[in-house]
C-alpha cells in the first residue's frame, strides 16, 4: 500500500469503488483475453509513436502540446493513484458565486454530506462553488484540478499547497481527469465552463464513452437555473427529435441537497460497476438478484438487447485479471450500445426495491 493510500476497511461500503486496474478506460474498451495485457507492450507502442513523430518532422508547436499533455497526465495519474478505490464526486459550478449566495451554501452542504459517507470531493480548486465543495468536504476529503488562467484562478485556501492538488494548462486534460476519476458528477449553476462540463459529461454517457454514473443538476431551494435548462432540453432537443426520449434519464434535476445525495448513493445500492467483455456488457453487482427480479428485467428491457436475454452469472473467465471483483455476481447482456438512456433506467431498476 502506498504511503498516501487509504485502508478500504476504514471507510463505509458506499465509499469503496474500483481499483486502478478495474476501471475501464475508455468505458467501451472491452476485455478480450483471460490475462491482462502486458504494460510493456503499451510502453513500446508509445515509444514507437514518438519515433514516428520524429520521422514525420512534427512541428515544435505540436510537439509542445503532446509533451505538455503527457507531463500533465502522468503527474495527475500519480496524484490520484493512491485514492483510486475511494469513490469521488466531482462538483462543477461558477467560480464567481459568493459565500452568501444560496448556491454556495448548497455546495457546502453537498460536500459535507458526501464526505460524511466516506466519499472524496473533486473540484476545479478555485473559488465560488469549487471552494464551497471543498469547505464542506474538508481538507482530507478534497482533491483539486486547477487550471492556469491569466485571471481568477488561484487555488482556494482549503486545497492550496495540498498534495492532492494538480494544476493543469489544458482544459481537455483537466476535463478528462474530472470525469475519469469520479463515480458521480454534480453541477451547480455556473457560466459557460459549467455548461460545457455538464454537456460533455452527458455526451460521454450518451455515446457510451463514459461508464454510466449519476449526474445531478443541483439548484438551490428557490433556484430555477437547471429546471429552465431541463425545459429547454425537453422543448428544443426532445420535441425536435435531436435526442432520444430516454436520454433525459441520464441526469436528475433537483433543488434539494438530500435528494442529490440519495440519487448518488442509490445508484450504487446494488450496482457496482460495468465492463464490456468481448461483445457483451457485464454489470458487477453487490448482491445477487432474485429470480423474479431477473425475469422482470428481461420483460421490461428486451428492447435494448441485440439477442438473447439478461443472464445472471459468476465472473467471466476474461475477468480473471480483476480478482478484487471476482466474488461479485454478474448480469451479462448483449447490449445494442445505442440505448444509453434505457441502460440508465435498467440500472435504476436493478437498484429499486
Beta pairing class for 120-123 and 142-147: parallel
Cα angle, residue 108 at apex, residues 159 and 216 outer, rounded to 5°: 105
Fold classified for 82-267: Rossmann fold (3.40.50)
Q: What is the distance between the alpha carbons of residues 232 and 230, in angstroms, rounded to a whole number?
A: 5
Prior bond of 26 cis (ω within 30°): yes
- The residue written with cell numbers 431477473 in the block is 294
113, three cell numbers: 454530506
Bridge-partner residues for 312, per DSSP?
331
Q: What is the domain partition of the chain in residue ranges?
A: 82-267, 271-351
pLDDT at 35: 67
Alpha helices in the chain (DSSP H): 39-55, 60-80, 102-116, 129-137, 171-180, 192-206, 225-232, 257-267, 291-300, 340-351
Residues of the chain predicted below pLDDT 50 = 1
pLDDT at 25: 56
Per residue in 94-107, pLDDT (tens digit) is: 999 999 999 999 99
DSSP 8-class letter at 59: -
Please tell me the pTM assigned to this model: 0.94
Fold classified for 271-351: Gyrase A; domain 2 (3.30.1360)
pLDDT at 41: 87
pLDDT at 34: 67
Q: What is the distance between the alpha carbons of residues 216 and 263, in angstroms, rounded to a whole number?
A: 8
Closest by alpha carbon to 24, among 203, 350, 284, 269? 284
Cα angle, residue 96 at apex, residues 94 and 97 outer, rounded to 5°: 75
DSSP 8-class letter at 137: H
Amino acid at each position: 500500500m502506498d504511503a498516501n493510500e487509504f485502508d478500504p476497511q476504514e471507510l463505509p461500503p458506499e465509499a469503496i469503488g474500483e481499483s486502478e486496474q478495474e476501471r475501464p478506460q475508455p468505458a467501451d474498451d472491452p476485455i478480450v483475453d483471460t490475462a491482462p495485457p502486458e504494460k510493456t507492450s503499451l510502453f513500446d507502442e508509445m515509444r514507437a509513436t514518438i519515433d514516428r513523430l520524429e520521422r514525420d518532422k512534427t512541428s515544435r508547436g505540436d510537439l509542445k502540446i503532446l509533451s505538455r499533455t503527457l507531463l500533465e497526465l502522468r503527474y495527475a495519474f500519480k496524484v490520484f493513484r493512491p485514492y483510486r478505490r475511494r469513490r469521488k464526486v466531482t462538483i462543477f459550478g461558477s467560480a464567481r458565486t459568493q459565500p452568501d449566495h444560496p448556491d454556495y451554501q448548497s455546495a457546502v452542504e453537498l460536500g459535507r454530506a458526501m464526505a460524511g459517507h466516506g466519499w472524496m470531493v473533486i473540484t476545479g480548486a478555485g473559488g465560488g462553488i469549487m471552494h464551497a465543495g471543498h469547505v464542506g468536504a474538508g481538507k482530507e476529503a478534497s482533491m483539486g484540478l486547477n487550471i492556469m488562467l491569466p485571471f481568477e484562478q488561484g487555488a482556494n485556501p482549503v486545497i492550496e499547497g495540498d498534495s492532492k492538488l494538480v494544476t493543469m494548462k489544458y482544459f481537455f486534460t483537466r476535463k478528462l481527469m474530472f470525469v475519469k476519476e469520479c463515480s458521480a458528477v454534480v453541477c451547480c449553476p455556473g457560466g459557460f465552463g459549467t455548461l460545457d462540463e455538464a454537456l460533455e459529461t452527458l455526451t460521454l454517457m450518451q455515446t457510451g464513452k463514459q461508464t454510466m454514473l449519476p449526474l445531478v443538476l443541483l439548484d438551490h431551494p428557490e433556484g430555477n437555473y437547471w429546471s429552465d435548462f431541463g425545459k429547454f432540453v425537453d422543448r428544443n432537443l426532445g420535441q425536435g427529435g435531436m435526442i432520444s426520449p430516454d436520454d433525459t434519464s441520464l441526469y436528475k434535476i433537483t433543488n434539494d441537497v438530500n435528494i442529490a445525495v440519495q440519487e448518488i448513493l442509490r445508484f450504487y445500492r446494488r450496482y457496482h460497476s460495468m465492463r464490456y467483455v468481448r461483445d457483451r456488457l457485464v454489470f458487477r453487482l453487490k448482491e445477487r438478484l432474485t429470480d423474479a427480479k431477473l425475469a422482470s428485467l428481461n420483460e421490461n428491457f428486451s428492447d435494448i438487447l441485440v439477442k438473447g436475454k439478461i443472464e445472471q452469472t459468476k465472473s467471466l473467465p476474461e475477468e480473471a485479471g480483476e480478482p478484487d471483483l471476482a466474488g461479485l455476481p454478474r448480469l451479462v447482456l448483449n447490449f445494442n450500445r445505442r440505448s444509453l438512456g434505457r441502460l440508465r433506467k435498467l440500472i435504476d431498476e436493478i437498484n429499486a426495491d
